[in-house]
Structure 1
Amino acid sequence: MIQERLIQTVISILLSAGYDVSERCLLRPRSFDLLASGKKGLVIIKIVSQIDSVSEEIAFDLEAMGHHLRAVPIIIGERARDAPLERSAVYLRYGLFAVAPSTLYDYLVEGVPPLVYASPGGLYVGIDGIRLREMRERHNLSLGDLAHILGVSRRTISKYESGMGTTLEMALKLEELFDEAIVQPIDLFIDRPYDLTESIYQNEIEEASPAGHLKEMGLELHPFRRAPFQVVALFEKNTIFACFGPAQKTVKRAALIGNLSQIAHARSLCILSDYHNEKKIGKTLVIGEEKLYSLEEGSDLINLIPE
């Protein structure tokens, strides 16, 4: 019941902010619960009560998916360890932002970004280093002067001016001293660069398989274990969510990945091992393996799949 309430709260916030929201991903295992598209782009959302339950492998999947879909992954939760997530604070889980629903509401609906990073060591903020240097020089203070006033080293002040963050307490001292805002707001949906190695699942693509044939046709494949689609396939400017297998296990995914592809402005495809016709289920093209093997070029496949 707690998880259901949390998911409905997040959906309500997204809709209030004017976002298009996908159907819930109920298939297991799953690395995300919702896709949403709006004024800040495509967002991949994982919703959990305890953010500590998000494993490193799930975080990697979210980050990789964000990279390949040009989307921002985010975790929405209520608690970290035994404490509730603070409003207007951003937590980190394996490098991904995690926030409370109230923080998401403030950011999307009220237009108020969070300011504070929360960690086991306390609350931290980002400082506008250029602004700090300008204020220091405007008040005719040297690095040493400011360091003496704050009780820190000259090196620390120099690092602040180079962009190093600091504690909330120190930031408040600086703002009180200069009577100006210096804390940088946190953009939750900023398109951050990802340092990704090749997918750890790449070696699972067999040459003598539908996925292998897609590669031969010139498509770039990125496999996922915890998504309703098994691969994200890229061809020229097209993105395809694709799944493979027997009809009994695969067809039930068709409508869901079609809905997800609509939110992500992608295409969707199901390739069945025991099917010999061609049909559409919602936005998803469903074909048999024989039909796939009859195609030679990626463009041939793109022409079959509805946008």
Structure 2
Amino acid sequence: MEEKLLNATLNVVRQHGVDLFVDVSRPYAYTMVVEHDGKKILVKVAADADDVPTGALRDVRLLSEFLGVPALGVASSARGRVLREGVVYRRDNVNFVSLATLAKAFRGSAPTFLQIRGRCYALVDGETLRERREEAGLSLSALSEMLSVSRETVYRYERGEMGVPEESAAALARFFGSDIFKRIDIFVSVRADSIDKASRAMGANAYKLEQSHPNGIAYEDKPVFIVKSEERREKAEELADIFGVEVVKR
């Protein structure tokens, strides 16, 4: 399954950009580096998004933040269920999408639905929703009855305070059009949190990488890859050339 997904991902990438780096010799935090629309992107390919170790995602977040590049996963399933087209599964602040969703995003059609754990919802443009509701002559109460939700829930949709579950989102799209929903940009960098940094600290502004080719990453005036052995140097330097960073041995 994973080999088929990898080959299919490469085919999609090559239709819309370039694969700059691929290494499946061991389970690294990333599978490839691709370039699309002038952006270099770290990509992890996995059969199921929840099979990716937490430590690997920690590496991905550190690399994404300090290199300033997008990071995302491509997976066939999440939580043991098929990852549907148009849905972004967010795990530990890293986005995972199906290959079909990735292909559409490459063509400029960003996904609408966000899944976190078992909950899937759309992010509504509250101001647009309010304008469309008022143009239709509907009160908050009337729309709430149409959606079978409380008036307070509709009010919170319009204030952007909560996402809209799939069933209600489908109804809103029928009433007011699908453009009332915000699109999710999957080509964005992610940030390492305080736990990532505290657990991986190896000096001032330097952090250990456990499932990557460099053994660590540091940031002073610019990012630096750290290697501890010659075994890692060749691939670390290949990555460094792609991202325009220096490699140092410590």
Q: Same fold (TM over 0.5)?
A: yes
Alpha-carbon contact 1:91-1:97 (below 8 Å) kept: yes
Residues 246-257 of structure 1 correspond to what in structure 2 (within 5 A)? 250-257=229-236
Corresponding letter in the other structure for 1:255? E
Quote the sequence identity (%).
23
Alpha-carbon contact 2:21-2:32 (below 8 Å) kept: yes
Instruction: Say if 2:175 is the partner of 1:177.
Output: yes
Q: Which segment drifts farther, 250-259 or 177-186?
A: 177-186
Structure showing greater radius of gyration is 1
State the Cα distance separating 1:256 from its structure 2 match. 0.9
Which of 48, 56, 61 is equivalent to 1:63? 61
Corresponding letter in the other structure for 1:16? Q
Corresponding residue for 2:16?
17
Corresponding residue for 2:243?
264
What is the CA–CA distance in structure 2 between the aligned matches of 1:191 and 1:251, rounded to whole Å? 29
Corresponding residue for 2:41?
43
Residues 199-214 of structure 1 correspond to what in structure 2 (within 5 A)? 199-202=198-201, 205=202
Give CA-to-partner distance per residue, 1:86-114, whole Å, 9 cap, x none: 22222122232111122211211x22222
1:120 to 1:268, Cα distance in 2 relative to 1, 3 A: closer
1:92 to 1:172, Cα distance in 2 relative to 1, 3 A: same
What is the CA–CA distance in structure 2 between the aligned matches of 1:223 and 1:193, rounded to whole Å? 16
Corresponding residue for 2:89?
91
State the Cα distance separating 1:225 from its structure 2 match. 1.6
Alpha-carbon contact 1:37-1:264 (below 8 Å) kept: no
Q: Secondary structure at the match of 2:224?
A: strand
1:16 to 1:270, Cα distance in 2 relative to 1, 3 A: farther
1:114 to 1:251, Cα distance in 2 relative to 1, 3 A: same
Instruction: Say if 2:208 is the partner of 1:229.
Output: no
Alpha-carbon contact 1:64-1:196 (below 8 Å) kept: no
State the Cα distance separating 1:121 from its structure 2 match. 4.5
Cα RMSD, aligned residues only: 2.5
Alpha-carbon contact 2:69-2:188 (below 8 Å) kept: no
What is the CA–CA distance in structure 2 between the aligned matches of 1:7 and 1:106, rounded to whole Å? 17
Corresponding residue for 1:136?
133
State the Cα distance separating 1:161 from its structure 2 match. 0.7
TM-score using structure 1 length: 0.72
Alpha-carbon contact 1:243-1:270 (below 8 Å) kept: yes
Give CA-to-partner distance per residue, 1:19-65, whole Å, 9 cap, x none: 3521315356x222222333263322211112221122222222222
What is the CA–CA distance in structure 2 between the aligned matches of 1:180 and 1:114, rounded to whole Å? 12
TM-score using structure 2 length: 0.86
1:240 to 1:121, Cα distance in 2 relative to 1, 3 A: closer
Q: Secondary structure at the match of 1:200?
A: helix
What is the CA–CA distance in structure 1 between the aligned matches of 2:46 and 2:224, rounded to whole Å? 27
Alpha-carbon contact 1:31-1:62 (below 8 Å) kept: yes
1:185 to 1:98, Cα distance in 2 relative to 1, 3 A: same
Corresponding residue for 2:5?
6
Q: Which runs of 5+ in 2 are unaligned?
A: none
Higher relative contact order (CA 8 A, sep 6+): 2
Corresponding residue for 2:165?
167
What is the CA–CA distance in structure 1 between the aligned matches of 2:144 and 2:102, rounded to whole Å? 36
What is the CA–CA distance in structure 1 between the aligned matches of 2:59 and 2:2, rounded to whole Å? 21
State the Cα distance separating 1:85 from its structure 2 match. 2.0
Alpha-carbon contact 2:70-2:187 (below 8 Å) kept: yes
State the Cα distance separating 1:157 from its structure 2 match. 0.8
